[in-house]
Structure 1
């Protein structure tokens, strides 16, 4: 019988000690992690949830490594992240925009190349489902534009003072410069440059927005996760992952479009399964 392991993470703040005095408060990331854990648990997954101070680099990496060492072909791993998206300079020249995207964990950023390297530890035939309710872009000008647009649209479920799940550019620069000795060996690692191509498992990523968009936080859930929960409808959704993503997109504003991305071995049977099927 196939096994399922889930690791759900949600950070309503990060450590100012690492991020140059910035704590990055958000409202609903812990709620997202708890709700994703509830879905996974209802489908029979063995679930671990990391909230804010528990969601450190070491704990997230350890959780992924433990799943990779446990699961075999035919099993499934679900990984969800709700929190700030960040950026670091691309020092191994594998990004067209010269920036590596990151998850802002409590005590430091986890670089996208590191995530691919961790996913590369899973055996061929393992199904991996990743949800990322975060964003990887945003400047002062773009932030002002999005705030104006979202308020004009009168979106429901978002607090009056809209918060977005991105690290401000000045914080990103300061965090990197203050921690160059830590990040540079990761960013320059030639092995990590090829990490995406080394993934043998079948990975589906459904993210909260496109790379050039912002993901909105909310009162009870992030906007993406809130709509995911509505579409899932306590398990009443019956179609595959592409249809799942399309149904979520249909509920989203035009300036936040969830992405569907595949890495590793293409597994069309996996893509056609009802979401969260072990």
Structure 2
């Protein structure tokens, strides 16, 4: 059995004026955690994470795996959406991840991710950890480590990267988002926020990070949770908070939620 990880982090979005600060740190932090656990790790940062290489990287990770392997994919960057063209989304939108070349190549749609995940061999587990906007509400989490200052949302509105003649109608933009990446497939999805919220790009102790990634790794080390459900509950002791109104989510079967972490 092999555990392999693909860690993607994108700060730079040419042509959009919507750059981020903490995503490359997120990817490097996940990679360091996985390497410390003996995983095979591939990093894709900024210019390495164009649309075609992202698709190729996910495909290679999945198609070279064998029964018993565990695959972890982490993504830190902007999330976005486009009008649904296949009729399978209840909100009329396809959610998507934003590659480095978003402005020229377009987004990585949840439908494409689902097709890639469906190619996994029998007996292979896939966990997707996304620190982007799939989209707060309750204010209760602790903010001890959070630096003062302005945070940025990890959401790329269509008007920031689409040509004017391709923009969706206003009524679709106003629709309440539903679905996120829950249709992407895999065994588990850990997401930074609800569909109707934003994930935040901020700073902790003078270093940029995504809020979800920072607290996910902090609780993984401090609490040493026994399974994904316990890990998720530990993260929710920090998020949402007054200044970070994002509610992390976990999606998967009860059995998958009780898997030992990264095993």
Q: TM tier, shorter chain?
A: 0.7 to 0.9
CA distance in 2, matches of 1:43, 1:5: 11
> Could you tell me how far 1:173 is from its partner in structure 2?
4.6
- Residue 35 of structure 2: aligned partner: 41
Instruction: Tell me, in whole angstroms, the C-alpha distance in 1 between the residues paired with 2:47 and 2:164.
Output: 18
Distance 1:173 1:164, change over 3 A: same
**Distance in 2 between residues matched to 1:77 and 1:243, nearest whole Å:** 20
- State the superposition RMSD in angstroms: 2.7
Deviations 1:120-163 (A, max 9, x none): 111121011110000034xxxxxxx99xx99xx97752551220
Residues 168-194 of structure 1, C-alpha deviation per residue, up to 9 Å, x if partnerless?
A: 34225537828xxxxxxxxxxxxxxxx
Alignment of 1:259 with 2:257, yes or no, is: no
Shift of 1:58: 1.5
Q: Which residue of 2 aligns with 1:210?
A: 194
> Residue 14 of structure 1: CA displacement?
1.4
Question: Is 1:171 aligned to 2:160, yes or no?
Answer: yes
Structure 1 stretches of at least 4 aligned residues deviating more than 6 Å after TM superposition: none
2:82–2:158: 8 Å Cα contact kept in structure 1?
Answer: no
Structure-2 change in CA distance of 1:155 and 1:100 (3 Å): farther
5+ residue gaps, structure 1, are 17-21, 138-144, 179-195
Q: Partner of 1:162 in structure 2?
A: 151
In the alignment, the residues of structure 1 paired with residue 165 and residue 217 of structure 2 have an alpha-carbon distance, to the nearest angstrom, of: 35
Tell me if the contact between 1:86 and 1:172 (Cα under 8 Å) persists in the aligned partners: no
State the TM-score, normalized to the length of structure 1.
Answer: 0.77
Cα distance in 1 for residues equivalent to 2:237 and 2:42 = 30
Question: In structure 2, what is the Cα distance between the partners aligned to 1:8 and 1:175?
Answer: 33
Change in Cα spacing, 1:165 to 1:103, as seen in structure 2 (3 Å) is: same
The alpha-carbon deviation at position 82 of structure 1 amounts to: 0.2
Aligned mates of 1:71, 1:30 — CA distance in 2: 26
SS at match of 2:250: strand
Compute the displacement of 1:267 (Å): 7.9
In the TM superposition, 1:100-115 aligns within 5 A as 100-108=94-102, 109-115=107-113
In structure 2, stretches of 5+ residues that fail to align are 168-182
CA offset digits 1:75-118 (Å, max 9, x no partner): 11110000000010011111111111110111131001111111
- Higher mean alpha-carbon deviation, 43-52 vs 246-255, is at 246-255
> In the alignment, is the contact (CA less than 8 A) between 1:208 and 1:259 conserved in 2?
yes
Aligned match of 2:174: none
Structure 1 segment 1-278 matched on structure 2, within 5 A: 2-16=1-15, 22-108=16-102, 109-137=107-135, 156-158=145-147, 160-171=149-160, 173-174=162-163, 177=166, 196=183, 202-219=186-203, 220-233=208-221, 237-253=224-240, 255-262=245-252, 268=255, 270-277=256-263
From the superposition, tell whether residues 24 and 134 of structure 1 become closer, same or farther in structure 2 (CA, over 3 Å): same
The whole-number CA distance in structure 2 between the counterparts of 1:233 and 1:274 is 14
